[in-house]
Amino acid sequence: MAEQFITIKLTKCLLFLTEDEVLSLLRANPLIWERALRRGKFIRRAAKAREPKGKIRA
């Protein structure tokens, strides 16, 4: 099976990393891992809050 890559777009380059490579980088700097998790939770909650609410039937 072909290995899948995570694409990261930077200003002047495009990175293609495997999941193992990303996890290795995050293990080396746990603060980045913590910030990314917190940011991800915030973004998902904000997106969910923007979803249209269904009509409530009485």
Please write down the HEC assignment for all residues of 10-56. CCCCEEEECHHHHHHHHHHCHHHHHHHHHHHHHHHHHHHHHCCCCCC
pLDDT digits (tens, 9 = 90+) for 5-57: 999 999 999 999 999 999 999 999 999 999 999 999 999 999 999 888 776 66
| Whole-prediction pTM | 0.64
Q: What does the domain layout of the chain look like in residue ranges?
A: 6-50
**pLDDT confidence of residue 58:** 60
**pLDDT confidence of residue 17:** 97
Rounded CA-CA distance 27/30 in Å is 6
Report whether 13 contacts 28 (CB < 8 A).
no
Q: Which residue has the tokens 């293990």?
A: 27
